[in-house]
Amino acid sequence: MNAASVGTSLREIDDLPSPRGLPLLGNLHQLPPATHHLTLERWAAELGTPYVFRLGTTPVTVWNDIELSHAVMRERPHRYRRYAPIENILKEFGCNGLFSIEGAAWEPQRRLVMQALSIPHIKAFYPTLAAITERLRRRWEAAARAGRVVDMTDDLKRFTVDVTSALAFGEDPNTLENERVLIQEQLALLLPMLMTRVNAPFAYWHYVKFPRDRKFDEAMIDVHRHIRELMSRARARMREEAAVEACETPLEETARAPRNLLEAMLTLRDAPGSGITDDEVAANVLTMLVAGEETTATSIAWALFFLGTDDALQARVAAQARQVLGGSAVCPSYGAMRELDLCEAVCTEASRLHPVAPYMSLEPLEEVRLQGVRLAAGTKMFMLHRPAMMDPDNYADPERYDPDRWLHDHRHEDAASERGAHEPRAYLQFGAGPRVCPGRHLAAVEMRLVVSMLTANFTAQLATNPADIREVCTFTVVPSEMPMRLTLR
């Protein structure tokens, strides 16, 4: 028995309720990739949880219990791991980095990434963050002057790729000012292909390649070439700087501290007997690019959806932003940015209603008993996140978009009972436990910078019918589009 076990009468997964499927296919035909998360949530409402569905012949159990999610996520990497097909497929992509690596190899990588994304590091990096935000502002100013509709999902991804690359690799690709940057287009293929292959009933691409598999393979060759060039430029910079330092201080210890994640990984890899390979470093470069790009861009894009359809809210956010920014177009300092709570809250609340990660997929490494159900090692588990975020016991009036719910101090009991339920533990958009997202602080800073810059300098209006914007699952869940019309203030 383990920490998450409850109940006495033991059930097998075949005893769980299940949507009716077909022999061999299971429920695959009922789960179109782009919307399968919605079907899983509907089945949870209809059948109750836990339930089991089948991807081909593979049973997948589905759970909806916050405390269970916390308990399972806490017991990683020793008792639970991420869904094994994710690691298998990412290995084939040359992308088996921190997100998917398991076992003893995970911890040293985690330490490096945590250091690179730590608050002091981000604070020191703030001037670069502000400069990239200013570049985004100039791009939007040009669009506003030309009366051009902005494709927010695309622009925000350019912003997040520039930020991650500059912070983690010490090189800024400036996708915001280079209209056709190939890496941007190639990266966009990775998550959808991961999703397709993770959910495929068998590894068809080992036997036959469809045109889109071939296009993807070619894109990955280019992405890896780009990453190797990035690595060799970083090595050359490190050698040059070490040589300069050696000339200036010939009698001193000349090794200098790595300045970013890539330098830290290369230093470790190049140490005698490290056992780390260039392939592992490259896998983490790609992991960081992918993990930091769409997630943050999507959370901001959904916030713009709500701001772009609510003039009063937008005016309120703009008033706070203008007050904090003073005369600057972009938040002038890390200290001032901490005043921009509302700018982060609009994004947090947007991702409560439209989660980027509507479920987490895991599996136990040993037999476990959860809520009276016996799960053999390797049983697939999907932990749903949205039902708990839409439960009135966790969030008062849960259908309402209300960023203020994240701003109240819920520790004061009287005021809290007047406002109604607010259960931060039900918000699992960054995961939980030892593998909680290491980029969450960077993401929060990006949200504050972009939302304050946008509202202080522009008014924004959604340039399509809100009802036309759908959730599309491409491993993470993104909006189908987010076109906006900006006007200079």
Contact residues for ligand HEM, defined by CB under 6 A: 73, 98-99, 110, 113, 164, 287-288, 291-292, 295-296, 299, 356-357, 429-433, 435-439, 442-443
* Min separation Cβ 441 and ligand HEM, Å: 9
Whether the link from the prior residue into 258 is cis, omega within 30° of 0, is: no
How many residues can be counted in the chain? 489
* Min separation Cβ 445 and ligand HEM, Å: 9
**Identity of the residue, 143 or 346, whose beta carbon is nearer to ligand HEM in the bound complex:** 346
CA 380 to chain CA centroid, nearest Å: 21
Q: What are the residues facing 374 on neighbouring strands?
A: 12, 369
* Min separation Cβ 344 and ligand HEM, Å: 10
Q: Residue 218: CA atoms inside 13 Å, Cβ hemisphere, count?
A: 8
Q: Are 486 and 463 in contact (CB under 8 A)?
A: no
**Identity of the residue, 438 or 479, whose beta carbon is nearer to ligand HEM in the bound complex:** 438
* Min separation Cβ 90 and ligand HEM, Å: 11
**Identity of the residue, 85 or 439, whose beta carbon is nearer to ligand HEM in the bound complex:** 439
Is the C-alpha dihedral spanning 168, 355, 175, 210 positive or negative?
Answer: positive
- State how beta strands 359-364 and 51-55 pair: unpaired
Is the C-alpha dihedral spanning 385, 388, 390, 394 positive or negative?
Answer: negative
* Min separation Cβ 203 and ligand HEM, Å: 24
Q: What are the residues facing 360 on neighbouring strands?
A: 383
**Identity of the residue, 334 or 430, whose beta carbon is nearer to ligand HEM in the bound complex:** 430
* Min separation Cβ 1 and ligand HEM, Å: 23
**Identity of the residue, 156 or 234, whose beta carbon is nearer to ligand HEM in the bound complex:** 156
**Identity of the residue, 54 or 70, whose beta carbon is nearer to ligand HEM in the bound complex:** 70
Q: How many CB atoms lie within 10 A of CB 420?
A: 13
189 in helix, strand or coil? coil
**Identity of the residue, 331 or 428, whose beta carbon is nearer to ligand HEM in the bound complex:** 428
Amino acid letter at 388? A
* Min separation Cβ 294 and ligand HEM, Å: 9
* Min separation Cβ 73 and ligand HEM, Å: 5
Provide the token pair at 489. Answer: 């203030």
**Identity of the residue, 19 or 292, whose beta carbon is nearer to ligand HEM in the bound complex:** 292
* Min separation Cβ 145 and ligand HEM, Å: 30
Place of tokens 């309720």: 17
Kindly report the backbone phi and psi dihedral angles of residue 279, in degrees, each rounded to the nearest multiple of 5, phi listed first. -60, -40
CA 439 to chain CA centroid, nearest Å: 8
List Cα–Cα distances, 5 to 68, 368, 375, 470, in angstroms.
9, 8, 11, 38
Q: What are the residues facing 487 on neighbouring strands?
A: 459
* Min separation Cβ 80 and ligand HEM, Å: 10
**Identity of the residue, 294 or 402, whose beta carbon is nearer to ligand HEM in the bound complex:** 294
Of 336, 311, 428, which is closest to residue 68 (Cα–Cα)? 428
The DSSP symbol for 73 reads: H
Kindly report the backbone phi and psi dihedral angles of residue 195, in degrees, each rounded to the nearest multiple of 5, phi listed first. -65, -45
**Identity of the residue, 434 or 483, whose beta carbon is nearer to ligand HEM in the bound complex:** 434
Q: How many CB atoms lie within 10 A of CB 46?
A: 10
